[in-house]
Structures are given as structure tokens and as C-alpha cells.
Structure 1
């Protein structure tokens, strides 16, 4: 048993504590508050007034898929020879000993969603994982978090260069629809086979992966920057009654009123700390999270690592706060909002009893770039302690 005392606690659960305490046992948070009795046998860590918050969460990156300081040998995020690869799984490509995991962990990022890139219309499944460990199987929270799909420039560029479809936005949408229809038919045949095994469809690895989307077991994780691509993604999700998480959402602020009308699983904004490297990024701005939030939408902020190095996630949130986002909401965008976007808010994202003891302590406010992470705990294990 361990207790952290003398902390300025931001729980991300609508209650903060000055001179607060957190009690931890068996990797879980047991109690949090200002004054409560702790067992005398508990190990004590003095935060010295430091800013204590939940471990930060990046809801969309590619860490371990494109390895640090490597070219082709460490590039395992896009199987860019077939625009439809739903059967690919990020868990089979991630290198957990990539240096970037350690850098992220020491900066206070304890959980990430990582997976395929956006070369393909359907790219494969993302995983949600902790950033500490040497074996991927021990780090996984959810091995199949979402199905990556992509709209806009990337699939067009990749397959136009190969003289293949899609080379237009029409084809991207048509290819996605075609395979969702196939998956829907596949699921219907499986359901009929529950009463008559002779009606069971022949096993299809791609359709089996997409069946999880049709059954609403996982959402589509939809890469879309431009406003029209965002709305196409929403349109298709409604046609097939599937859940969708909007990723990047660069021009989301231009259609915030329309997005407010939709029952979206999540809006994950970024990478914004980057240049306008292509046409669909011409309206890139750190005002996007603020404008979406002010329209009544819950926003998570992402790095898209390695586009932005993962350890700079809190800087992205700080810049969003500078451009008008409520400071506490900006903190939520890299903690509890990100956890909700990934459907893991029952485990991480806030300092509450029963949740994983993933805890970060700064020596000051995390949005002051002069301050540093002094303490990191993940699953109750102290990883870094410079208090």
C-alpha cells in the first residue's frame, strides 16, 4: 500500500484538492481527498505541493508502428498495396522497446491508442495500450480498439500513383460502402447459421474483422481533415448504423454546428503542432479544439506521433488553451476525454477510486513549459521519482 500526500490534485472528475492525498493498493486507486486516515504501514511519497493528475492519454498516434530513427526497416504502419486491409492488426507490428515509448512515459503519457496509417481506405485495427513494458501482450488494454478508415487526400495519392482505385473521393466512399455491405451480409448469414449451420458463410478474414464494426463492437476510426470529408464519414456511419470516431477533424470548427447535431462517439483533433503540408490542412489552427468545445462537443487532442513526438502532447493541449480552450477542459482533452473516446474511461483518465493508479506529478502547472514531470506511476508501479 502506498500513499501520495501534499499534492495539488486535479482529478479530471469535477473535483480538485489542495494539499490532497491519494491512496493506492494493488495497482488501483483506493481513496482520494484532502484528509483521510491512511494505514500506518503504507509507504509515503511526499509530492511537495506538486501538480498531480492522471497519466496522460494520446487517443491517436502511431508509436511503435514507425520506429524511432529508422526508415523502411521500422516502417510497419501502411500495407499500401491493397486499399482494403481490415484484417491487419496493430498488435502484430508494434515494437514495445522503441525508444519513443520510454520518452512518452517519462513525459507522463501512460496510455496510447496506436495503429495503422491512412494510406488505405480500410487500414486495420488500432490497439489501446500502456506505455510501460517489454512485451506487447502485457501492455495491452484493448487489442482491438477501432477499425481505421481514411478519407481525403491520402488514399487518393497512394493509389493514384499505382494507377489503381481509389483516385477520387467518390471511389474512397464507394470502396468503404462496398465492404461494409459485404460485412453486413456476412453478419446476417452468421446470424441465420445460429439456427441452421448449413447456412454459415465461408470464413473470410477481412469480413470477420469488419463484422465487429457492423455489430457495433468497435467504431470506425475515421481519418478526415477537410469539412466535406468529415461529413462524408458521418454520412456513411449513419447509413450503416455504425459508431464512428472522427480523427484529425482539422476543419471541424467550420461545421461545429452540424457536428453538434450528430451522436458521435468521439472527436479527436490534431496533429496541430505541424506545418500545413498538404491542401486539406490549409485551415489548420489551434482554435479548433476551443471552437468545437464551445459548440458543446467533447474533444480529445492527439499528436499523431511521429508527426508530433508523443512527449509533446501536453504542449499541444497548452497551445489549445492559449487559443481559447478552457484550461481545465484542455487538461481533460488529454486525460478523461481521450479515455472516453477510446471507451476505457472505466479504467483510466481520472483520479478516482477503482481506476488504474496511473499518476503524474509536475513541479508546477503542466501548461507552463518550464515545469517538468517529477513523478510517474503506471498500474501502481513507480516508474520515475524525482520528487
Structure 2
């Protein structure tokens, strides 16, 4: 038997590439999917007979605080918001992730194999997020990193003005928040001019500035801005600033995007919607609804679902998608919102989000459709290795 090869046979394959599932086999070689469909099983591999179980690409949550807001840890595990300056673009979520956070285990037990871990929304510019696999054989976070510099967090709306109003400093209003973001972008542009002059004349080279380096990655389209915006007017502000400075972004949470769907659709920025379950926790989320996912999807937008873990437990990613189907969303579109759509939003569709040859062997196997609340995850594979067996 070749330990490098595994064949999952007799499964109902939800490839996501194909709209309809079909029965077939899936071959894993090392950490990649080697074959999908009807093929002869190699003699030199481990064979796992799924007996008709349902096979999905590993699910993806594109906005979490896994490992930086640890479950049940209180202050000791709260490392997601450095509330000492409105601009903390020099921070990296990677430096705060505890791979031993029990949230990662919960994710794997639900077949959620990948997460985008991003700083919180207390600051106008919060820091750099990182895409990680939710499991590895050791607890060194580098072994899980899929993509660092996967987005720079920014925030509009209630959170920054609440934090800094209490400190009697700017921003204390939405105007102040927008101005702070614009000023950070302008400062980075000025830094770029100084860097250019420094290339011509070494005596004029500016001192290195980590905040401005990271913001320049946004301006130069090397990394998108991930803008926290719930309310319709905050979403419009995010779009306004993105258009002014010509950077790429995603709109995070987007609780009222459905109220201005035609306007949002004109610009076609990807939306990361949620947390959609539970009661509205703030004024700016009072109009959130699971119906919004269908409205936004029907408008042709790239929509993903998030739990904003630990705001919602990460395993409720699947529950949110299921309830959106109950509210009229097409089942296939709901599956895309927790697989290929977040992969696209994170710039990783070449590796994640569907069962295709050459992609990472991140796989979730269920006894019945996961949108059935009694469904159980039977296996979770991460990079071709069995991370969980139910």
C-alpha cells in the first residue's frame, strides 16, 4: 500500500464545478486531488469505501477571528484588537494566532478546512489577515498558512467611533472614521513618492514604515482592503473611498447591502455576509436578514457567508447556509457561498473551493446533506490527510 495515495470510492460527489452531484471516486496523491469521477482504482493505494456518503470540497469561512479571540479564554485569549491607535496597519494576525484554540477543532469536526483570520474592527485600519488551514499535524502556525497578506482590515460604522469616542479622540463620528482612512491612504501615497525619490537619491530615502508599507500594498493592488461595513451608508462610503483611491476590496458583513443592491451591483465588489444567525446585536445590524443572500446572489454578486467566529461558533457556517436555502436561496448557490465563492474572494480559487484535479485535497464527507441539521461529518481531510473521523 502506498501511503501517498488514498482512494475515496463510492461517494456522491458534490464537486461545485458541476451543478449536479454524481456518484464516483476521488483519488488523493500526497496533498492534492489527482482524479475525480469514474476511473480504475490503483492497486497501490489505501481505499476508503464511502458507501454512498456525500463528498464536498472542504468548507471555507472567509472572515474569522479563530486563534486570536480564543473560545472560553477571556482576556488571556483576546488578541484581536489593539485599541491603542486608530491605524494599526503594522499588525499581523499571524503573530497572535494560537493554533490550539478549540475553535479550530470545532471547524474540522464540521468539515470546515480553511479560514481567513483577520484582526477585529475596533480600529479604522486594523492589520493584515492570513488564510490558514484549520488543521495540521503540529501546532506551529506556519505549517497551516495558505496565504499571508490576504487582506488589510479596515472598519467603518459603530465600532471605531465607539472605541475612540470613549478616549475623547478622533474618530468619534462616521466623518472622522472616513477621514482617518483617507488620511492613511494619502500618507501612504506620499511615502511612495519619497521611496521613489530615494531610488534616485539615496540621501532622500525615507525611514522604513511598516504601517505605510502595508497600506501601499493595498494602493498597489498587491492586497485588498477588507472593509467592515454593516449599514447601507457605510457600504456606500466604502465604495466611495475605493473608487477615489482605486484599490481592490471586499465588503465585510454587508448587513444592509440588500437595501441598496442595485447600487452595490454596479461596482461588483465581493461581499462577505454575516453573521446572519442570532438577534441583531447593534443598531447597525438591525436590518440583517437571511433573505439578503438570495437578493444579492440574484443580482450576480460574488457572495460568501461568514460566522465572524467567535461571534457565531464556526460550525454554524453550514447552518447559516442551510437557513438561507429555507429563505429561498438556491441550494447550489448556497454551497458556492461556503466553498468556491470565498476561495475566489481570498484569491485562492486555483487551490480551494471545488473538487478538481490539482487542487488541495481538502474534503468533507457527510452521511447526508449538511444542510440537513441532523447530518454528521464522517471524515475531514486536510492536505490529503485525515484530520477527523466521526
Distance in 1 (CA, whole Å) between partners of 2:21 and 2:279 is 39
Q: Does 1:25 align with 2:29?
A: yes
Aligned residue for 2:315, secondary structure, equals: helix
- Residue 92 of structure 1 deviates from its aligned partner by 0.5
Whether the aligned pair in 2 keeps the contact of 1:187 and 1:214 (CA below 8 Å) is no
**Equivalence map 1:344-363=2 (5 Å):** 344-363=348-367
Alignment length (residue pairs): 384
325, 332, 340: which one pairs with 1:336? Answer: 340
Distance in 1 (CA, whole Å) between partners of 2:21 and 2:252 is 33
Aligned residue for 1:310, secondary structure, equals: coil
What TM-score comes out, normalization by structure 2 length?
Answer: 0.96
313, 320, 324: which one pairs with 1:320? Answer: 324
- Residue 47 (structure 1) aligns with: 50
Q: Does 1:212 align with 2:217?
A: yes
- Residue 132 of structure 1 deviates from its aligned partner by 0.4
Distance in 1 (CA, whole Å) between partners of 2:295 and 2:49 is 39
- Residue 385 of structure 1 deviates from its aligned partner by 2.7
Whether the aligned pair in 1 keeps the contact of 2:19 and 2:332 (CA below 8 Å) is no
Distance in 1 (CA, whole Å) between partners of 2:358 and 2:19 is 16
**Equivalence map 1:1-387=2 (5 Å):** 1-33=5-37, 35-133=38-136, 134-264=139-269, 266-386=270-390
* CA displacement, residues 202-252 of structure 1 (integer Å, 9 cap, x when unaligned): 211211121111111111100000000001001101111110110000000
Aligned residue for 1:20, secondary structure, equals: strand
Q: CA RMSD in A?
A: 1.1
What TM-score comes out, normalization by structure 1 length?
Answer: 0.97
Distance in 1 (CA, whole Å) between partners of 2:199 and 2:29 is 44
Q: Which moved more, 1:12-21 or 1:278-287?
A: 12-21
Stretches of structure 1 lacking an aligned partner (at least 5 in a row): none
- CA separation of 1:15 and 1:288: change in aligned 2, threshold 3 A: closer
- Residue 15 of structure 1 deviates from its aligned partner by 4.9
Whether the aligned pair in 1 keeps the contact of 2:368 and 2:376 (CA below 8 Å) is yes
Aligned residue for 1:72, secondary structure, equals: helix
Stretches of structure 2 lacking an aligned partner (at least 5 in a row): none
Whether the aligned pair in 2 keeps the contact of 1:126 and 1:147 (CA below 8 Å) is yes
- Residue 87 of structure 1 deviates from its aligned partner by 0.2
